[in-house]
Amino acid sequence: MMHIDFEPGDYVINPKNKSWGIGQVQSIIGNKVTVNFENNGKKVINVENINLEKVNNEFK
């Protein structure tokens, strides 16, 4: 299983769908990360298929 380098509360973007806006990680179960995106609501992301990018704290 791959290593996930963020935890609940962290902010991320989906590089393939930047229009979703910044998302906050809600939970991580295995390779499924639930993220609440500002423009797209809650999404469950399989991190084996989509490489979320962590957003630095300046963006909060």
Q: Where are the beta strands (DSSP E) in the chain?
A: 11-13, 23-29, 32-37, 41-46, 53-54
pLDDT score recorded for residue 2: 62
pTM of the complete model: 0.86
Q: What is the pLDDT along the chain (60 residues), one digit of tens a residue?
A: 566 788 999 999 999 999 999 999 999 999 999 999 999 999 999 999 999 999 976 554
pLDDT score recorded for residue 5: 84
Query: Which candidate, 21, 13, 3, 25, places its Cα nearest to that of 52?
Result: 13
